[in-house]
Amino acid sequence: MSEENKNEEERIREAFIKKDWSEIKSANSWVIFKVMAEFVDGFDKLAKIGPCVSIFGSARTAPDHKYYKMAEEVAGLLVKHGYGVITGGGPGIMEAGNKGASEANGKSVGLNIVLPFEQDGNPYIDRDKMLNFDYFFVRKVMFVKYSQGFIVMPGGLGTLDELFEAYTLIQTKKIGRFPIVLVGVDYWQGLMDWIKSTLLEKEKNVSPEDLDLIHLVDTPQEAVKIIEDFYGKYLLSPNF
């Protein structure tokens, strides 16, 4: 058995081990303090960043890929319109978003997650706006608390997690109806078709108006225009 499989088996078996109250309290106390520390650090560093838009997408996208270049352009356009950019802080699309914001002299925020693979903070994040998280749920709170919009580039499971976190919170009115923009029609159309045909029409598990919360576009210009038009309706600019 490989070392990785041994570690995985140990983690599974540990969930079935009975512990006494003293052991439970001791272990959970340290977790609570770590979670609190991540929240405090995040609130402290992000409270004054001003209006920002989160860019989500795959950590595996190479710099020569069209979606990497599109994410760079999206970020640059957002900065030109007065917004800062928040990403997950890692490579791929996240790096592209931070790079585009940095090169346009805008705010470049990175919410990095500590993983056993794939993710290190990229070099385009502002030094005072780089945060590292052990817990995904704390990191997602920071995304939704400090973002005025969400632009979602093609990605994998992590990107879907972030997308549906924002989607659910907006649908349930836990946060404001901030715009969610999916970039890449070929990539996302199948998902949107499934939501419409299965969740809405067949199973009635969502409402028709829920589909209006997501916009599907193919260019950086269209993506940023949706953000601008949304706030234009409220006569708001990034100086709000």
Q: Alpha-carbon distance 206 to 140, whole Å? A: 23
Report helix, strand or coil for 131.
strand
pLDDT digits (tens, 9 = 90+) for 32-71: 899 999 999 999 999 989 999 999 999 999 999 999 999 9
Answer for the pair 181, 78: CB distance below 8 angstroms, yes or no: no
pLDDT digits (tens, 9 = 90+) for 126-143: 999 999 999 999 999 999
Handedness of CA 29, 145, 73, 179 (dihedral sign): positive
Out of 3-17, 74-88, 205-219, 225-239, which region has the weakest mean confidence (pLDDT)?
3-17
Neighbouring CB atoms inside 10 A of 233's CB total: 7
Neighbouring CB atoms inside 10 A of 33's CB total: 10
More confidently predicted of 5 and 54 = 54
Q: What pLDDT does 57 receive?
A: 98
Please give the model's pTM, rounded to 2 decimal places.
0.89
Task: Spell out the domains of the chain, with CATH numbers in brackets.
Answer: 48-233 (3.40.50.450)
Is the model's pLDDT at 198 over the cut of 80? yes
Give me 10's structure tokens.
């140990």
Report helix, strand or coil for 130.
strand
Q: What pLDDT does 28 receive?
A: 77
What residues have CB less than 8 Å from 161, skipping those under 6 apart?
136, 140
Q: What pLDDT does 221 receive?
A: 98
Is the model's pLDDT at 239 over the cut of 80? no
Answer for the pair 218, 188: CB distance below 8 angstroms, yes or no: no
Q: What pLDDT does 111 receive?
A: 97
Out of 34-48, 62-76, 108-122, 193-207, which region has the weakest mean confidence (pLDDT)?
108-122
Give me 103's structure tokens.
């090169």
Answer for the pair 153, 56: CB distance below 8 angstroms, yes or no: yes
Mean pLDDT of 163-186: 97
